[in-house]
C-alpha cells in the first residue's frame, strides 16, 4: 500500500531538495527522455522558471507524440450534495445548514437526457458528497445502470470504497474512478478534514491501490492546490504516488488534475497559496515531461482563455458545460454549487474553440465493449509455436 511507502518519504526533505534545485538540475532533466521523481522536482522548482518556453515546447511534443492533437471531453453530474464529512474548505460540509439534494432515479434520468441535449457527450463523471448511508454503493450501482443507455464511458468521483465494491461497480459499467488526495501532508490533512470518514488519511491515500486491485481501467489523482503553501512538495508526492501505482498496476490508465483554489469572496476558507497561471502552466509542463502517457485534465474552474492556451501544450482531457450543483442540468438548477465555474461556454463553443486551435475534440474514447474484448484477450490462452 502506498501509505507504507509514504512513511519513508519526508515532507521536509522533499521541500529542501526542491528549494536546492539548480539551473544544471533543470537542464539535466530537460535533456532526458525518461525522467525520475528527482527530475520532476527540478522541473517544478523555481530554478525551472527561466526554462518555461523550452518546457512548453517539450510538453507539446510529448503530448502530440502520445495523444495526437486530441482533447477528450467529459461532463460531470453531481448526484448529491449530501455529505457526512467536514472538509473546512467545502460548502457541502456537514455543519452547513443548507438544503440537501439526493437525486431520485427519475431525476437522474432527467439529468442524463438534459446532458445529451447539451452536446454529444459520451464520457460522464458521476460525483457525490460522501454519505454512504444515503448515496452508497447500491445507489451508485443504480446510477451507473441508468446511465448505460446514454453514455459509453462512466467514471465516478465519490468516497473511497473497498476493492470489492470497486469490482462490483465495474461489473455495472464503471470504467474509471477519480479520488483526489487533496494533500499528502499527513498532519495538515487532519486539520482540513477533522471529522467523518475523510479524516482517515490512510484509507484515502490507499484508495488507488484498491482501485488497482479491482482492475479499474482508469484512476484519477489530484491535490487541491491552495491547501499547502509548499504546493511543489505536494505535487511531488503525487508524482511519487503515480510512479508507485504504475509499477504495481501497470494495466491501468492514469490521469492527474490540479484543481486550484481561489480566494474566497464571502469569508470562506482562504487558500494558503494562490497558484498563478504561470505556475500552473509550469506544473502542467513538468508533469507531461515527467510522464508522457498520463492524462492531464483541466476542469471548468479554469478560464476559457487559459484552458484554450493549455489545450495546445499538454492538457488532454477537459470538462465542458459543467454544473457543480446536484441536478444542475434539469431538475435542481438553483441548488448550491460546489465551486464556481469560470468557463461557462457551451459544449459547442468549447468544441469550436478547440477546432480553431487545431485540436480534435473527442466525445467518445472508451466503450464498455472494449473491457469485454480486453478481458477476453487476457483470458485467452497463449498458443506457442
- Select from 44-52, 61-69, 87-95, 166-174 the region that touches ligand SF4 (CB under 6 A): 87-95
Residues 6+ apart with CB under 8 A from 304: 342, 343, 345, 350, 353
Output the smallest distance, CB 121 to ligand SF4, in A: 23
Q: Which residues pair with 221 in a beta bridge?
A: 256
- Return the number of the residue (199 or 213) whose C-beta is nearest ligand SF4: 199
Residues 171-200 that bind ligand SF4 (CB under 6 A): 198
Q: In terms of DSSP H, where are the helices of the chain?
A: 2-6, 11-19, 23-30, 37-44, 52-67, 105-118, 132-135, 137-147, 163-170, 186-192, 201-205, 207-213, 231-248, 277-290, 304-310, 347-356, 368-379
- Return the number of the residue (21 or 126) whose C-beta is nearest ligand SF4: 126
Question: Residue 87, interface with ligand SF4 (CB under 6 A)?
Answer: yes
Binding mask 116-155 for ligand SF4 (x = CB under 6 A): -------------xx-------------------------
Output the smallest distance, CB 83 to ligand SF4, in A: 3
- Select from 10-18, 81-89, 307-315, 322-330 the region that touches ligand SF4 (CB under 6 A): 81-89
**Phi, psi (5° rounding) for residue 215?**
60, 40
* Number of residues near ligand SF4 (by CB under 6 A): 9
Say how far apart CA 36 and CA 45 lie, in whole Å.
14
- Return the number of the residue (337 or 349) whose C-beta is nearest ligand SF4: 337
Cell numbers found for residue 271: 487558500
Of 299, 227, 215, whose CA–CA distance to 256 is shortest? 299
**Phi, psi (5° rounding) for residue 154?**
-115, 125
- Return the number of the residue (198 or 307) whose C-beta is nearest ligand SF4: 198
**Phi, psi (5° rounding) for residue 300?**
-80, 5
**Phi, psi (5° rounding) for residue 102?**
-125, 115
Say how far apart CA 221 and CA 125 lie, in whole Å.
14
Gap between the terminal Cα atoms of the chain: 39
Output the smallest distance, CB 24 to ligand SF4, in A: 41
- Which of residues 78, 92, 112, 192 is near ligand SF4 by CB under 6 A? 92
Output the smallest distance, CB 89 to ligand SF4, in A: 7
- Return the number of the residue (221 or 294) whose C-beta is nearest ligand SF4: 221
Output the smallest distance, CB 98 to ligand SF4, in A: 11
- Select from 90-98, 215-223, 273-281, 368-376 the region that touches ligand SF4 (CB under 6 A): 90-98
Q: Which helix (H) or strand (E) element contains residue 177?
A: strand 174-178
Output the smallest distance, CB 193 to ligand SF4, in A: 7
Output the smallest distance, CB 184 to ligand SF4, in A: 16
Output the smallest distance, CB 338 to ligand SF4, in A: 7
Residues 195-254 that bind ligand SF4 (CB under 6 A): 198
What sign does the CA torsion over 267, 200, 189, 127 have?
Answer: negative
Output the smallest distance, CB 380 to ligand SF4, in A: 41
Output the smallest distance, CB 122 to ligand SF4, in A: 26
Of 111, 175, 108, whose CA–CA distance to 143 is shortest? 108
- Return the number of the residue (92 or 189) whose C-beta is nearest ligand SF4: 92
- Which of residues 85, 152, 284, 316 is near ligand SF4 by CB under 6 A? 85
- Return the number of the residue (87 or 245) whose C-beta is nearest ligand SF4: 87
- Which of residues 6, 30, 75, 83 is near ligand SF4 by CB under 6 A? 83
Say how far apart CA 102 and CA 332 lie, in whole Å.
10
**Phi, psi (5° rounding) for residue 114?**
-65, -40
Helix, strand, coil % over all residues of the chain, rounded to 5: 45, 15, 40
- Return the number of the residue (300 or 316) whose C-beta is nearest ligand SF4: 300
List of residues contacting ligand SF4 (CB under 6 A): 83, 85, 87, 90, 92-93, 129-130, 198
Amino acid at each position: 500500500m502506498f501509505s507504507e511507502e509514504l512513511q519513508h518519504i519526508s515532507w521536509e526533505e522533499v521541500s529542501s531538495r526542491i528549494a536546492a534545485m539548480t539551473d544544471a538540475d533543470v537542464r539535466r532533466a530537460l535533456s532526458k527522455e525518461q525522467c525520475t521523481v528527482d527530475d520532476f522536482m527540478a522541473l517544478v522548482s523555481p530554478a525551472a522558471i527561466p526554462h518555461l518556453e523550452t518546457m512548453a515546447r517539450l510538453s507539446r511534443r510529448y503530448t502530440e507524440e502520445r495523444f495526437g492533437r486530441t482533447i477528450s471531453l467529459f461532463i460531470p453530474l453531481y448526484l448529491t450534495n449530501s455529505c457526512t464529512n467536514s472538509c473546512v474548505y467545502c460548502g457541502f460540509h456537514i455543519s452547513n445548514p443548507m438544503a440537501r439534494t439526493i437525486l431520485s432515479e427519475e431525476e437522474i434520468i432527467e439529468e442524463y437526457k438534459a446532458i445529451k441535449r447539451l452536446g454529444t457527450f459520451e464520457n460522464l463523471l458521476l460525483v457525490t458528497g460522501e454519505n454512504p448511508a444515503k448515496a452508497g454503493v447500491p445507489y451508485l450501482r443504480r446510477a451507473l445502470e441508468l446511465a448505460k443507455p446514454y453514455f459509453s464511458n462512466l467514471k465516478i468521483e465519490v468516497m473511497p470504497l473497498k476493492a470489492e465494491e470497486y469490482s462490483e461497480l465495474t461489473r455495472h459499467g464503471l470504467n474509471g474512478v477519480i479520488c483526489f488526495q487533496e494533500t499528502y501532508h499527513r498532519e495538515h490533512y487532519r486539520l482540513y478534514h477533522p471529522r467523518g470518514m475523510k479524516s482517515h488519511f490512510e484509507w484515502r491515500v490507499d484508495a488507488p491501490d484498491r482501485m488497482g486491485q479491482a482492475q479499474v481501467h482508469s484512476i484519477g489523482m489530484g491535490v487541491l492546490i491552495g491547501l499547502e503553501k509548499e504546493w511543489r512538495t505536494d505535487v511531488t508526492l503525487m508524482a511519487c504516488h503515480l510512479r508507485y501505482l504504475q509499477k504495481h498496476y501497470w494495466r491501468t490508465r492514469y490521469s492527474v488534475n490540479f484543481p486550484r483554489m481561489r480566494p474566497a469572496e464571502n469569508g470562506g476558507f482562504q487558500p494558503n497559496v494562490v497558484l498563478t497561471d504561470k505556475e500552473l502552466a509550469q506544473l502542467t509542463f513538468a508533469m507531461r515531461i515527467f510522464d508522457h502517457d498520463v492524462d492531464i485534465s483541466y476542469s471548468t474552474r479554469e478560464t476559457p482563455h487559459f484552458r484554450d492556451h493549455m489545450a495546445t501544450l499538454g492538457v488532454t482531457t477537459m470538462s465542458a458545460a459543467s454544473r457543480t450543483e446536484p441536478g444542475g442540468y434539469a431538475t435542481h438548477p438553483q441548488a448550491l454549487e460546489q465551486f464556481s465555474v469560470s468557463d461557462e461556454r457551451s459544449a459547442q463553443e468549447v468544441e469550436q474553440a478547440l477546432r480553431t486551435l487545431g485540436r480534435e475534440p473527442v466525445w467518445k474514447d472508451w466503450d464498455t465493449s472494449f473491457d469485454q474484448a480486453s478481458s477476453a484477450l487476457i483470458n485467452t490462452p497463449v498458443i506457442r509455436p
